[in-house]
Amino acid sequence: MGAAGRVNSVPSVALRALAGRQSRFALRSVIVTKTSAIIRIVVAVLLLLLELLVFLVIGFLFFYIPGLFILSFTKQKLTYPTNVFLPIVTGIIAFTLSVYVLSWLHLTILLYPIALLVLFLSFKRRILHAISLPKEHRIPSLLTLILAIIFSLEMIPNGNFGNTIYHFGDDLAHLAYIKELMHAFPPQHPGFAGVPLAGYHFFYDFLIASTAKLSYVSPFSLYFHFMPFLVALGWAFGAYALLYVWIKKISAALWGVFLVLFGSSFGYILFFLGHPGMTLGSYLGFEQPQTALLNAPYSFSVVIILAVLLLIHNYLQSKDRVTLFLIAIFVGIAPMFKVYGGIILIGGFGGLVLYELYKKNFSVILAGLVSAGVFAGTFGVFSGSGAGLFYFPFWPVERMFDHIFPEYGWKEKLNSYGKYQVIGGLATTYVYSIAYFLIANLGTRFIGILLLPLLLLRSRKLPSVFACLILLMLSVSVIVPMFFAQTIKVFDMIQMLWYYPFFASLFAAIGLSNFFSLQFSKLTKIVIGLLIVLATLPTAYANLQTHVIPLLTVKRTSLSNDYYQAMAWLSQNGSYTDTVLELPVGKEYIHKENAYAWFNSSSAHIPAFGNHRTFLQNQYIVFPNMPVDQRLDLLVLLNSVEFGKNRNDQEVAKVLIELKNNNISYIYIAKPLTMFADTSVRLVFQNPVAVIYKIN
């Protein structure tokens, strides 16, 4: 879990000052302190509710209505629950693409008249209707909503609560990108001022930044609360809509929601067997959906995949060209939300294109060109020198056996069999280990998949084209990461395997639904169903106990109130483009290897909280060709001059020249520097933990 801390607000500071002035009256001081705490909580809740109201209005005007308007040009009549889920996702994609184009033209102000025009045309075309909830969907929809709320608890207790902020993993990097995209386009790396941002799929951050600028809702509220909850609803109701439209069974839809949100591996069995190092929440090589919201781009990409699957299903039924081109646009833009999800969708879309060409529908070629154009105009523009792939067969399996089952001696077996050319032994080892990896990570979803032949036997039909396309996407999510790793953060390629349980959940839901539709006693069905549910939930329960409940119950305290005062000063002074140099101070930083160690442990906290680009901060991913070494030289120079035995004016002058040559506007450090005593560099802020200098 990331570090926590407080964010000061003017009302809280004023109330603490008031309580301090009355400190000679002990009882009154206690009363005022408690009252001020209550007032802060009430104000924070009211502000959050106000922001939520604004977000709902913005979502209705800029997401739902435009999405509904676009879908009105398709031949498919939308019914519940598709008419809720699909318009919102379509509107979000249209909004993101529109802002992207207008940002290049510096005409984002046109978003308002465009939204009003779409609203007017929607009324004129009479496509705005009250959403009716059919009776048969009421209880299932309520259950889906409850499951979505529980699923969202992994993320929404984090964030900014009055004077406290909790964050996790790469949250600071995302917040830094959001702040950058709120202030500049095309963006730069917020932790490497002056370096264009490239090689990263930043459209989720771009979506939040654009929404924050449009609505004036805090990016913290959007990132930690509103968007994660919307994504959780997207997972739940998207899975419900897809399976209901596909299978026409509410039971299949509910099983799908449950497995997509809370399906887990059989890792907990090893815990019960006493396997060393295993806990109730242990994974077997890659994470399960319980923590999906902590990786915002991944979780949103699943929503896009669900929308694309619904569009593909609609297209296969209607052969509507508008729907086909919508699919092409979704697929083309997907890599900029999450490149792994984009690869999977490109594979699935490629399969659809080949099928349509086989059916002599050559208009699909134009759709493919549209998709390629959107891809080139988005991901292609910002691809830069990002991560490449290299051949590394079965590395996920190797990592799992090395970390969890070292006693099995996976490498040793393969080396021995390979050395003596024992082909049978090699084949057996590979088959066993890969099967274990794939099946154990499915957990109870594997039971549902085993039951799928019942459907084939009862229907006496081959799998549909739609089912084959989903199977193709599942295969891509397994085969690509099973054989390739990436050149940056090598093992992050495992994230592509996160989609595998998602696709498997769809098939498993169908298998379970058909099994429980067989003719046997209701009591037996209840018992078997409960056993499957209970066998699915241990990992989700462990995650709830270790990650969610502590955030809901722990007293929210501060690591450093002074730090956030410094961030507040930075955010209120200068412009975002005024570069801040965060400087580690100490004799040890005369040596570059120590400066490099500091860089590796740093984070993009100043862009996130201080509203300024920085000269050198770690953004969670260090992309190729980033000027890390060159910029570390400046840190080393400053420390060498500060702690040099025979410092002279020429050395200080050289420092000042280097600061100006690198466009440094502020220096953020932990303690004052003596070298600036008789220079034009001014001390503009100081408290117990932070000192800020202004470079004139």
Q: Residue 526 above 50 pLDDT?
A: yes
- Give the burial class of 620: count Cβ atoms within 10 A of its Cβ; 0-12 exposed, 13-18 middle, 19 or more buried: middle
* pLDDT, tens only, 649-695: 888 889 899 999 999 999 999 888 888 888 888 999 998 889 999 99
Is position 37 within any domain? yes
* pLDDT, tens only, 436-459: 889 989 999 999 999 988 777 777
* pLDDT, tens only, 126-178: 888 878 888 999 999 999 999 999 999 888 877 766 556 677 778 888 999 99
Is position 250 within any domain? no
Is position 40 within any domain? yes
Is position 575 within any domain? yes
DSSP run (H or E) holding 693: strand 691-694
DSSP run (H or E) holding 695: none
In this prediction, residues 635-640 reach a mean pLDDT of: 91
Q: Residue 242 above 90 pLDDT?
A: yes
Give me the pLDDT at residue 121, please. Answer: 93
Contact status, residue 102 vs residue 110, Cβ threshold 8 Å:
yes
Residue 567, phi then psi, degrees to nearest 5:
-65, -40
Give whole-number Cα distances, 334 to 30, 289, 302, 324, 377, in Å.
Answer: 54, 20, 10, 15, 12
Amino acid at 57: V
* pLDDT, tens only, 189-213: 999 999 998 888 899 999 999 999 9
Residue 686, phi then psi, degrees to nearest 5:
-155, 135
Strand pairing partners for 692? 668, 685
What span, in angstroms and rounded, lies between the C-alpha atoms of 224 and 439?
Answer: 33
Per-residue confidence at 400, pLDDT binned at 50, 70, 90?
A: confident
Give me the pLDDT at residue 23, please. Answer: 38
State what percent of residues in the chain have pLDDT above 90: 50
**Which two structure tokens, joined as six digits, stand for 471?**
């199977």
- Give the burial class of 586: count Cβ atoms within 10 A of its Cβ; 0-12 exposed, 13-18 middle, 19 or more buried: middle
What span, in angstroms and rounded, lies between the C-alpha atoms of 37 and 15?
Answer: 9
Q: Residue 21 above 60 pLDDT?
A: no
Q: Residue 10 above 50 pLDDT?
A: no
What span, in angstroms and rounded, lies between the C-alpha atoms of 175 and 619?
Answer: 10
Three-state secondary structure call for residue 643: coil
**Which two structure tokens, joined as six digits, stand for 268?**
């907990």
Q: Residue 260 above 50 pLDDT?
A: yes
Q: Annotate 185-226 with DSSP letters as a single string.
A: SS-EETTEEEEEP-SS--HHHHHHHHHHHHH---HHHIIIII
Per-residue confidence at 578, pLDDT binned at 50, 70, 90?
A: very high
What span, in angstroms and rounded, lies between the C-alpha atoms of 548 and 149?
Answer: 12
In this prediction, residues 369-384 reach a mean pLDDT of: 92
* pLDDT, tens only, 52-107: 999 999 999 999 999 999 999 998 888 888 999 999 999 999 999 999 999 999 99
Is position 64 within any domain? no
Per-residue confidence at 283, pLDDT binned at 50, 70, 90?
A: confident
Per-residue confidence at 280, pLDDT binned at 50, 70, 90?
A: confident
The DSSP code for 674 is S
Is position 182 within any domain? no
Contact status, residue 445 vs residue 508, Cβ threshold 8 Å:
yes
Give me the pLDDT at residue 164, please. Answer: 64
Is position 565 within any domain? yes
Q: Residue 386 above 70 pLDDT?
A: no
**Best CA proximity match to 607, nearest among 294, 219, 336:** 219
The DSSP code for 418 is H
* 124/461: higher pLDDT: 124
In this prediction, residues 420-425 reach a mean pLDDT of: 84
**Which two structure tokens, joined as six digits, stand for 167?**
């964050």
Across 111-120, 125-134, 414-423, the highest mean pLDDT is recorded for: 111-120
Q: Give the mean pLDDT of the chain.
A: 86
Instruction: Mark out the alpha helices in 72-133 (DSSP H runs).
Output: 82-105, 111-124
What span, in angstroms and rounded, lies between the C-alpha atoms of 229 and 222?
Answer: 10
Give me the pLDDT at residue 31, please. Answer: 44
pTM for the predicted model, two decimal places: 0.89
Q: Residue 37 above 70 pLDDT?
A: no
Neighbour count for residue 645 (Cβ, 10 Å): 4
Give me the pLDDT at residue 542, please. Answer: 83
Q: Residue 645 above 50 pLDDT?
A: yes
What span, in angstroms and rounded, lies between the C-alpha atoms of 692 and 612?
Answer: 13
Per-residue confidence at 12, pLDDT binned at 50, 70, 90?
A: very low
Contact status, residue 301 vs residue 334, Cβ threshold 8 Å:
yes
* 272/20: higher pLDDT: 272
Structural domains of the chain, count: 2
Domain assignment of residue 610, given as a range: 561-694
Which residues have a Cβ under 8 Å from the Cβ of 347 and sit 6 or more positions away?
472, 473, 475, 476
Three-state secondary structure call for residue 683: strand
Q: Residue 621 above 90 pLDDT?
A: no
Strand pairing partners for 581? 667
Is position 590 within any domain? yes
Angle of helix 628-642 relative to helix 592-601, nearest 10 degrees? 120
* pLDDT, tens only, 481-521: 999 888 777 667 888 999 999 999 999 999 999 999 888 88
